[in-house]
């Protein structure tokens, strides 16, 4: 068994900034970061748009940002949380800049602020179309310079160790040696990101399998509002399944139009904001258009835009399109909605505390009350930064007492069993992803959801039987977590009786 003072699961913006703050404040204490891939692989890395922060108070205001967030959340935001996060934003941006993150500026030397769907003013701070990548680069560089931070890459967090509703540590699988290890910690923080790979068609990387939420659920933590899943309206369409390349919302903010194959600008039929309506509206509108036409995708038209300005603002998107044979100056971009963000998750208070003592959560895996029924564009990095800071301030309190349980943590003994069939797991994962897209996607019905619930229970029982008789590794644990997450989404979708924000449930099955 190994000991650490602070155990952080996940290496995105939430986990890394918390580790950096703790390491600076407590040079004599150990901070351990556990990540199942490389240290720089996270949902943060793929965030293109930016961070929504009120900078220009002549044109913008905190109240405008608060209002936009509340409107997007469709009546389910916690207004006090919204106010707290938005007013703390400038302070967190200042820290990022001090840590070396660079953001685009206009010719006057001021931050170049973008505008995205649902925002009433230009307030999105960005680094071209690679904002998340730039933030990850800057804070990871700072993190690796701290001697009291240990990064365990290619280590998979299997389960939390709890007693009397108190988190004592975690069981970790070393992916290289395939050995289970036990880590005891004073405090454990889940910063594990989202669930995208559960749907297969997603803008998330393949590591996004909902591990933190599933572990917290098994530990008895409160999980809420899993039914509110944001589908990004404009992922680049490719016939193959898997992670989709995101065509940032900022492209529509830049002036791009959505069109059917016939060229009709259909968003005019659905919302007065047209292409700049919130993501739930745009995704549902595209979904309806595709069901009416039978097409596989719609188009994003950038041909009327200045191509040089487009290349300057969106170099990564431009290169991706060009590689796929699409010249944005004369060709329309095929796009389709894809799972993008989870608005619910592990319930936390304003200090990031879960319902389990000594267990914290921040970032996409948490449910703070900020997003409500639908997240406002570019509020995700903002939330992660603010709650990372809130957890740090809580843990840095000199009067903070550490609650511990009396029992000793026992190591898991290795039992020799035949290795699991990897092909079986791959086939089951494909079936699971298809089930979630069909039965718990953009538009749902109770009949579809009930069928999914029964199937998920069967798969869960199968998986538990497998673990009793076979040697299991990361692919098994990920799939088990995905089934757990699927069950949470389906059960909470069945419970919700009213349509709000990104949640739409019809009385008839989705295939009718």
What residues are annotated to the active site?
279
Contacts of 208 (CB under 8 A, 6+ apart): 43, 193, 194, 195, 196, 197, 202
CA 500 → CA 8, 215, 377, 429, distances in Å?
A: 33, 28, 17, 29
- The 3-class SS string of 225-248 reads CCCCEEEEEEEECCCCCCECCECC
CA dist., res. 345 & res. 488, Å (int):
10
- List helix spans (H) across 108-187: 131-144
CA dist., res. 266 & res. 419, Å (int):
52
- The 3-class SS string of 367-394 reads ECCCCCCCCCCCCHHHHHHHHHHHHHHH
* Closest residue by Cα to residue 55 from 116, 110, 135, 108: 110
* Closest residue by Cα to residue 191 from 448, 390, 463, 330: 390
Q: Which residues of 318-349 are buried (b: 16+ CB within 10 A; e: fewer)?
A: bebbeeeebebeebbbbbbbbbbbbbbbbbbe
Four-CA torsion 171, 38, 381, 242, nearest 10 degrees? -100
Token digits for 90? 């400038």
């Amino acid at each position: 068994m190994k000991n650490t003072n602070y155990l952080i699961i996940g290496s995105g913006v939430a986990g890394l900034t918390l580790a950096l703050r703790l390491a600076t404040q407590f040079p004599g204490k150990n901070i351990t970061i556990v990540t199942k891939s490389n240290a720089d692989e996270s949902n943060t890395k793929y965030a293109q748009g930016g961070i929504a922060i009120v900078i220009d108070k002549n044109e913008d205001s905190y109240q405008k940002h608060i209002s936009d967030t509340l409107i997007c959340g469709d009546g389910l935001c916690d207004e006090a949380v919204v106010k707290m996060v938005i007013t703390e934003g400038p302070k967190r941006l200042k820290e990022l800049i001090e840590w070396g993150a660079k953001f685009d500026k206009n010719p006057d030397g001021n931050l170049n602020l973008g505008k995205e769907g649902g925002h009433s003013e230009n307030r999105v701070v960005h680094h071209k179309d690679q904002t998340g990548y730039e933030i990850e680069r800057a804070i990871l560089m700072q993190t690796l310079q701290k001697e009291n931070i240990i990064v365990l890459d290619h280590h998979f967090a299997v389960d939390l160790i709890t007693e009397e509703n108190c988190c004592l540590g975690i069981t970790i699988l070393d992916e290289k040696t395939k050995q289970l290890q036990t880590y005891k910690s004073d405090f454990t923080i889940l910063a594990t990101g989202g669930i995208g790979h559960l749907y297969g068609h997603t803008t998330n990387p393949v590591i996004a399998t909902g591990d933190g939420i599933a572990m917290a659920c098994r530990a008895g933590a409160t999980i809420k509002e899993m039914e509110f899943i944001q589908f990004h309206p404009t992922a680049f369409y490719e016939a193959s399944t898997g992670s989709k390349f995101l065509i940032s919302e900022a492209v529509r903010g830049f002036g791009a139009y959505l069109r059917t194959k016939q060229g009709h600008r259909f968003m005019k039929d659905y919302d007065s904001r047209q292409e700049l309506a919130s993501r739930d509206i745009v995704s549902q509108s595209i979904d309806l258009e595709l069901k009416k036409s039978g097409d596989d995708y719609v188009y994003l038209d950038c041909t009327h835009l200045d191509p040089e300005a487009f290349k300057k603002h969106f170099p990564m998107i431009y290169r991706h399109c060009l590689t796929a044979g699409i010249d944005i100056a004369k060709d329309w971009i095929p796009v389709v909605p894809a799972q993008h963000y989870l608005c619910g998750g592990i319930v936390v208070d304003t200090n990031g505390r879960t319902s389990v003592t000594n267990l914290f959560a921040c970032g996409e895996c948490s449910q703070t009350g900020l997003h409500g029924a639908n997240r406002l564009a570019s509020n995700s990095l903002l939330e992660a930064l603010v709650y990372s800071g809130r957890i740090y301030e809580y843990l840095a309190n000199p009067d903070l007492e550490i609650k511990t349980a009396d029992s000793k943590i026992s190591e898991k003994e290795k039992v020799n069993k035949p290795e699991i069939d990897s092909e079986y797991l791959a086939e089951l994962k494909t079936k699971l992803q298809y089930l979630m897209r069909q039965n718990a996607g953009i538009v749902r019905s109770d009949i579809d959801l009930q069928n999914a619930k029964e199937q998920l229970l069967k798969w869960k029982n199968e998986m538990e039987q497998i673990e009793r008789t076979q040697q299991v590794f990361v692919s098994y644990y990920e799939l088990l977590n995905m089934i757990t997450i699927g069950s949470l989404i389906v059960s909470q979708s069945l419970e919700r009786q009213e349509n709000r924000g990104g949640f739409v449930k019809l009385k008839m099955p989705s295939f009718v």
